[in-house]
Chain A
Amino acid sequence: MKAEAFLQCSQCKKILFSVEFEQLLRVCPHCGHHHRLLAKQRITATFDPESFEELDKEISSLDPLEFPDYEEKLEAAQAKNGATDSVISGWAKLDGMKVSAAVADFSFMGGSMGSVAGEKITRTLERAADAHCPAIIFCASGGARMQEGLLSLMQMAKTTAAVQRCRENGVPYISVFTDPTMAGVLASYASIADIILAEPGALIGFAGARVSKQAGVSKAPSDFQTAEWVLQNGMIDKIVHRREMRTTLTNLVKMLSWRLVKHG
C-alpha cells in the first residue's frame, strides 16, 4: 500500500502532511486531537528504542462457543492487523528501566477482551509481580468480547486478581486510558491501577452509547465520558499529552519503584 502524502484530521478536517503527522505521534498540530495508534506505533512512541521484547505470541483465540461469524471476524482482524489478538505483551524499557508492559489495539475487534487478551494482561501483571518490575498497561477497548460469552466476563475477575498480586509484592502498576477505554476493561484491571493516566479527549466509560441511550442518558453533559470529564469526577489522576507520555511514565515509575531498585 502506498502511503498518501496528505491526510485529513477527522476532528478539525484540516489537511495534514503525513510525514509531519507521524512525527507528531499522530496528534493533529491544528486541533490537538489524539488520533488512535496501533499497538506497534504505541510501543515505538513510548518505550526505549528496540527495547520491546514481545512475549505470549504463541497463544491465540479459539471459538469455544462456536459463536456466529466469530472465526471469520477473527481471521479478518488477524489478516488486517497482523497481530494474533487485541493485546501485545512483553518486556520493555523506560529510560533503561525494565517494565512489564501490555498494549491494547482498538483496531483489532475493538480491542475487545476475550480469553487471549485476559491471559496476556494477567501474565503481564504476574510477570511484574514475580520479577519485581513495574507494570504499565495501555488500555484501548470497547469492553469484553461478546463472542466468548461468560469466558470473557471471567477475564475481568482473572485480571483483577492479578492486580492483587502486584499489590502484594509492592510492585507499582500504571494504566493509561487511550481512546476508547470502556465497559468490562474499564470495570476491571484498568480502574484499579496505582496511577491512572489518560490521553486528552479519550472516551472513557462503563456503558456504551447504545446502553446509555436505552437508559435515557439524554441529559448527559456535552463532555460526558471524555477524559476531561472523568478527571473532573476524580476517577483518573492526570491527562497527559502523547508527546509527554514517555517522560511522565518514566518519572512516575522511577519514584514508585525506588524500593525495588534499591534492593535489586
Chain B
Amino acid sequence: MAKTWKEWERPLIEVEENIEKLKQKAKASPEAEREDLLKRVAEFERRRDNYIEVMYSRLGPWEKVLVARADQRPYTLDYINSIFTNFTELEGDRRFGADHAIIGGPAYLDGEPVMVIGHQKGRNITERQYRNFAMAKPEGYRKAIRLMEMADRFGLPLISFVDTPAADPSVESESRGISEAIAASMLKMFELEVPSVSIVIGEGGSGGAIGIACASSVLMLEHAIYSVIPPEGCAAILWRMPDKGAQAATALKLTAAWAKEFGLIDEIVAEPKGGAHRDAIEAAGLAKEAIVRHLKLLKKKSGSKLKQERYEKFRKMGRFLSENPVDALAKTR
C-alpha cells in the first residue's frame, strides 16, 4: 500500500512539534535553564533542516506525487499574486458558463502587460468544490482560448500555470465537448505569434494539462509531476489495484528529471529546500526568474519564427526505432 502524504510527512511534523514544545518550555523557564533549552532548540532545528534537505533531495516518484498534490503547496493564484501586479480576472467563455477550475486575465510582469492563465486548486472542501478540484470543463478551455486570442491580438505574452489532476470527466463535460475544447485549446497555442511560457507547478494531469501547455518554453518545478495517466489509474489498468500507485508512479517516469531527459520540457525550475510549500514566496521568486529569462529570449523572435520553432520543438517529441537513415541521423543529434 502506497504511503499517504500524512504518513510520509509524520516524522517531520513530530520534530516540528518537539521544537515548538521546547520553545514554549524555554519561554516559561527561569533564565539559568533557558539558555540550555534554546541551545537544544537550535540543535533540533539544525537536525530538522538536515533531514528536510536529505529527504527532499531523494524524493522517489511516489513521494513526488505526494508533494505535487500536497494541499499546502502553492497554487496558481499564489504564484500570480507573488509574480504579477494588477491581475484582473476575466471569467467569460461567451458560450455556456463560468468555469472556476481555469482562471485567467491580463496582469503586469515587471511593468509590462502579459496574459496569464492557469488551473486553480482549492485548499478546503468549499474551495475544492468551487474549483471542481481544478478539473476544467469545456467552458474553462474555451475561456482560455478567448484569452489566448486576445493575447495574440494585443501582443501580450502568454504565461500558463499547469496544475490539474485531469480534465473534468462528467457527463455534462462530455455533452459540451470536453475533447474538442482541449484539442482546440492546443491548436490555438500553436497559432500564437506572441511568446508563450508554460510552467507545470504541481500536477500535470494528462489531457487536462497539455490543453494549456503547448508553449514555446515549457518549464516544470523540481517536484511537480507530469503524466499521461494518474498513477492510480495506471495501477488499476495494469494490476487491477489502484493502491499500487507507487509502483505505477515509478513505471510512468512522471518526474521532471525524466521529462527533461526525454526532451519534453525545456527546463526544471528549482524549488526552495524542502519543497515549494515551505516557502511559497521563494518558490514564486524562482519561478519568476525562469519565466522572465525565457520571455526575454522569446521576445527577440518574430511571430512567424516563434510559430515555426514551437512546431519544430513539439514535432521532435517521441521515441521510436527507424530503419530510415535520415531518422536515425536525427536521433543522434
Across the interface, do B210 and A149 meet the contact criterion of CB distance under 8 Å? Answer: no
Q: A150-B262, A160-B183, A233-B177 are in contact. Are A61 and B190 (CB under 8 A)?
A: no
- Interface magnitude class on chain A: 35 or more
Partner of B214, one of A150, A160, A217: A160
Q: Across the interface, which residues of A come within 8 angstroms of B180, CB to CB? A: 187, 191-192, 235
Partner of A144, one of B206, B226, B258, B311: B206
Q: Across the interface, which residues of B come within 8 angstroms of A149, CB to CB? A: 227-228, 252-254, 258
Q: Across the interface, which residues of A come within 8 angstroms of B259, CB to CB? A: 150
Across the interface, do A116 and B320 meet the contact criterion of CB distance under 8 Å? Answer: yes
Across the interface, do B184 and A210 meet the contact criterion of CB distance under 8 Å? Answer: no
Answer whether residue A134 sits at the interface, using C-beta atoms and an 8 A cutoff. Answer: no
Answer whether residue B321 sits at the interface, using C-beta atoms and an 8 A cutoff. Answer: yes
Give A142-187 interface residues, CB cut-off 8 Å to B: 144-146, 148-158, 160-165, 183-184, 186-187
Bound-state CA distance A15–B229 (Å) is 40
Across the interface, do A65 and B253 meet the contact criterion of CB distance under 8 Å? Answer: yes
Task: Indicate with 1 or 0, residue by residue over A118-155, a CB within 8 angstroms of chain B CB atoms.
Answer: 11001000000000000000000000111011111111
Query: Closest CB of chain B to A255's CB: distance in Å?
Result: 23
Answer whether residue B332 sits at the interface, using C-beta atoms and an 8 A cutoff. Answer: no
Chain A residue nearest to B252 in the complex (CB):
A149
Query: Closest CB of chain B to A51's CB: distance in Å?
Result: 24
Across the interface, do A161 and B323 meet the contact criterion of CB distance under 8 Å? Answer: no
Partner of A191, one of B183, B236, B253, B320: B183
Bound-state CA distance A206–B171 (Å) is 10
Across the interface, do B251 and A62 meet the contact criterion of CB distance under 8 Å? Answer: no
Answer whether residue A76 sits at the interface, using C-beta atoms and an 8 A cutoff. Answer: no
Answer whether residue A219 sits at the interface, using C-beta atoms and an 8 A cutoff. Answer: yes
Bound-state CA distance A34–B331 (Å) is 41
Across the interface, do B315 and A153 meet the contact criterion of CB distance under 8 Å? Answer: no
Query: Closest CB of chain B to A23's CB: distance in Å?
Result: 35
| Contacts A65-B252, A68-B251, A152-B228 supplied; 8 other A-B pairs, CB < 8 Å | A59-B327, A61-B320, A144-B206, A144-B228, A150-B253, A155-B318, A191-B179, A206-B207
